[in-house]
Every structure is written in structure tokens, then in C-alpha cells.
Amino acid sequence: MKLFKKKEEVNISMDNTVTANNNVYLFSNNKIKNTDNFNRNQAKTLLEIRNLSKEFNGNIVLKGINLEIKENEFMTFLGPSGCGKTTTLRIIAGFDEPTSGDVVFEGSSILNLPPYERPVNTVFQKYALFPHMNVYDNIAFGLKMMKTHNDEIKDKVLHMLKMVKLEGFEHRNVDSLSGGQQQRVAIARALILEPKVLLLDEPLGALDLKLRQEMQYELKEMQRKVGITFIFVTHDQEEALTMSDTIVVMRDGLIQQVGSPIEIYNEPKNRYVANFIGESNIIEGTMIEDYKVKFENEVFDCIDRGFKPNQDIDVVIRPEDLLIIPKDNAKIIGVVESVIFKGVHYEICVIVNGKEYVIHSTDRSKVGDIVGLDVDAEDIHIMEKEMVG
Ligand SMILES: Nc1ncnc2c1ncn2[C@@H]1O[C@H](COP(=O)(O)OP(=O)(O)OP(=O)(O)O)[C@@H](O)[C@H]1O
Ligand SMILES: [Mg+2]
């Protein structure tokens, strides 16, 4: 039962995910949607962030960010509070100026353009709708400012209402809408101006879990339908994994890793990324030679290569990849310290040589049992060791 798996295998997990042939499929309402059809290497670069830094009163909050954002990409900035996600979006949108660096759209700098002349539009964390206007007028606002013809405005608003599933709501006051409905109005209001890039700053943060999950699927579907680039900000790793073509993991004003959800999950670059994206067992080890790694005083086959002989490394093993086996032939032996039922699986803690291993298993163990642990070669991930505080 795992989220991501190697090629040629088909797996169905309990959280609405099917994996097959290296693609991840989500199913809801019995419809299966492929989420892995974006090819970043072949896509055209739309927006570039070059060596971007930002200082507020002597406090450096962006420390030289370089990033390419592609056409039609669903890109997510993921990172903890204060790491600089909103600041980056505000600089792209033109609400803040960088201290140094550049923002380039289709080859030309847009730093000198005011926000309303930039090919981007923003949906903020708080919906910022006009409370005294009804749904129609809120969505029509930008087009009215641009003096668009009334008939064209009407066609476009009705089209947007259909897209965000609010047909028939045009005369409702926005105050009378639920949080999810207000958020859809905010998205429609931004999309109607047909920006090349839509910036979304934690747009689902205020919604309860169920509504948030529904909106995640809807947003993703909308992005595909309109075929524009989304830059989406969240600090929720599950949301990032579900929605994104590309995840940018940020920390403390720096980018830690850029990759597809599968790359980020399966091949985290460092301890920070591994810990931020789901739970991990991180074990100190030595790369003996290509495809052979030593940890817990035993040598294991793995699929990684390219490290120096006997290089010290960190081994990452996801809790769902550790298998509990009879102790007799096991290389790793430990004692079960705790077993917690988590609904879909048991979370089992096993102590090996004084260290804690977390295992997710659908089979139950007993506290105090002496058990063996095993892991498939492809589920052992090797990371460069680095000093991250
Ligand atoms: N106008 C400002 N003046 C001074 N400091 C600021 C200003 N705006 C942001 N900061 C600081 O910059 C850092 C990054 O803030 P930012 O809003 O980009 O974080 P974030 O990643 O969006 O966090 P969150 O997840 O909490 O929204 C924070 O330490 C914040 O206090
Ligand atoms: Mg923010």
C-alpha cells in the first residue's frame, strides 16, 4: 500500500491514488485522472526568476532565488511559515520590489511594469471580494475597468460561473456565500482577465478539510481547462503532492529542491526535504560502492550510484517501505516499542541499536516482540550528507 512505486507496477492505495507505469492517477467519483502528463523538460519557459533577493530592514528574507516556470505548469511553492513564499509571489505580481535580481517574462524583464500591466493575476489567502457587490459584479469588475463591451462581459461572466460551478449565483450577495463559494468567485474574478500566470497564495487555507480536498480537484481541473500557468503557495505537503506538476521546496529564503511530486517524495535532496515531505526514517550510512550501501552494520543492495567509495551518506526509508519480517533471517533486528492504530495502517515503532524506526503496516505487531526489518533495494534512497541545522 504505497503512494508512489516503480515502473510497471500497479498499486491502489486507500487515499484515492492508483499508480501504474510510473504515472499517478487520482480517482474520485469513479473517474480516473492522470496527473503526471506534464513534461517539464519539453515545456517552454514562460517566467524566470533570476537571483532574486529581498531585504526588509536589514533582514534578508530571500537569499538569491533562481527558478524557471514553464508554460501550462502547475507549480507549487511549499515551505514553512516565514520562508518567503508570499514575498516571492508579491515580487512576481509587482506589489513589492526585489532588493536585487530580476523577474523575466518571455525573455523580457517585467520589473518596471506596474502590477496591472503584468501578465499575472493574484488570488490572495483572504478572498478580498468587494462586499457591497453581488457575484456578477465582483467577477465582472476587471473587465468593466477595461471598458469591455457589456455583452462581452456578460458572456464571459456566465462562462466563468459555469467553470467554477456557480451557475445561477450571479445575483447573490457575496456575504451570503460559503467560504468555498467565495473562493470560487475570487478565482473566477482573477481568471476572467485571462492572465498568462495565475498566482494563488494559500487560496484554500481557510476552508475545512473536506471542502479543501474538493477544491483541490476542481482547481486542478480548471487549470487544465484554461491551460494557463498556476503558481500556487501552500505549506501543506499533501496539497502540494496532490495538485502540482512541479514542487519548489523552500526554506529560509532559499530553494531546497525543485521537482515533480514523485521526484521530491522518492528522491529528496536532503534531510530537510525528506522530513518536510512526509515522514521518513533517516539513517547514517556509508556507500561502499555503486549499488551497495552499509547501515546498521550490514550491507544492502540499493539502486543508487555515483557516490565516492566509502562516502558517508544519509539513507532515507519511508515508513511504508519498511517491512516487518520474522527475526531469524533478518539483517536488522529490533524490539517493538509501540503500536498505534491510524485508521488505514498501524504505526509501529521499533527500536534498533537504540534508534527509533517508524513503520506503517497493515499487519499488527505486539509491543515487546522481537522482529526483523527488511526493505527492498528500490526503496532505499541515498542522500548526500549535509550539515543542515
Ligand atoms: N513588509 C514587510 N516588512 C518586514 N518584514 C516582512 C514584510 N513582509 C514579509 N516580511 C518578513 O519576511 C519573511 C517572509 O515572509 P513571507 O510572508 O514571504 O513568508 P511566507 O512563506 O509567505 O509565510 P506564511 O506561510 O506564514 O504565509 C518573514 O520573516 C516576514 O516577517
Ligand atoms: Mg504567506
The secondary structure of 264-332 as a DSSP string is HHHS-SSHHHHHHSS--EEEEEEEEETTEEEETTEEEE-S---PPTTEEEEEEE-GGG-EEE-GGG-SE
Q: How far is CA 186 from CA 24, 122, 136, 164, 174, in A?
A: 30, 9, 11, 10, 10
Of 215 and 334, the one with more pLDDT? 334
261 and 295, same domain (yes or no): no
Tell whether 358 is covered by a domain. yes
The answer to whether 385 and 295 have CB atoms below 8 angstroms apart is no
> Is the Cβ atom of 82 under 6 angstroms away from ligand 1?
yes
Span 352-372, average pLDDT: 94
18 and 93, same domain (yes or no): no
pLDDT tens, position by position, 24-44: 554 433 333 444 578 999 999
pLDDT tens, position by position, 226-250: 889 999 999 888 899 989 999 999 9
Whether residue 53 has pLDDT greater than 60: yes
Tell whether 272 is covered by a domain. no
| Residue 176, number of CB atoms within 10 A of its CB | 11
Q: Name the pLDDT band for 301 (thresholds 50, 70, 90).
A: very high
Tally of domains in the chain = 3
Whether residue 17 has pLDDT greater than 70: no
What was the pLDDT predicted at 23? Answer: 52
Among 52, 54, 57, 59, which residue has the most ligand 1 atoms within 8 Å of its CB, making it the best to mutate? 59
Q: How far is CA 270 from CA 287, 316, 377, 387, in A?
A: 16, 9, 19, 9
Give me ligand 2 centre to Cα 82, in Å.
7
Contacts with 103 (C-beta within 8 Å, 6 or more apart), sequence order: 47, 48, 49, 50, 52, 91, 92, 109, 110, 111
Q: Is the dihedral of CA 360, 361, 365, 371 positive or negative?
A: negative
54 and 154, same domain (yes or no): yes
> Is the Cβ atom of 242 under 6 angstroms away from ligand 1?
no
28 and 106, same domain (yes or no): no
Of 25 and 334, the one with more pLDDT? 334
Tell whether 363 is covered by a domain. yes
Tell whether 271 is covered by a domain. no
2 and 107, same domain (yes or no): no
Tell whether 229 is covered by a domain. yes
209 and 114, same domain (yes or no): yes
Q: What is the pTM of this model?
A: 0.81
pLDDT tens, position by position, 265-297: 988 988 899 988 888 899 999 999 999 999 999
260 and 171, same domain (yes or no): yes
Tell whether 193 is covered by a domain. yes
> Is the Cβ atom of 353 under 6 angstroms away from ligand 1?
no
Quote the cell numbers at residue 29: 467519483
CATH code: domain of residue 317: 2.40.50.140
211 and 243, same domain (yes or no): yes
Tell whether 121 is covered by a domain. yes
63 and 104, same domain (yes or no): yes
The answer to whether 69 and 247 have CB atoms below 8 angstroms apart is no
Quote the cell numbers at residue 258: 525543485
Q: Domain limits at 231?
A: 48-266
Of 339, 330, 316, the closest CA to residue 373 belongs to: 330
Question: 238, 266, 294 — which closes off a domain?
Answer: 266
95 and 147, same domain (yes or no): yes
pLDDT tens, position by position, 120-179: 999 887 667 888 899 999 999 999 988 999 999 999 999 999 888 899 999 999 999 988
Residue nearest to atom 1 of ligand 1 (CA): 56
Quote the cell numbers at residue 251: 526554506
The rounded distance, in Å, linking the Cα atoms of 269 and 313 is 12
pLDDT mean across residues, the chain? 88
- Residue 74 β-bridge partners: 230
346 and 380, same domain (yes or no): yes
What was the pLDDT predicted at 259? Answer: 96
CATH code: domain of residue 110: 3.40.50.300
Tell whether 273 is covered by a domain. no
102 and 241, same domain (yes or no): yes
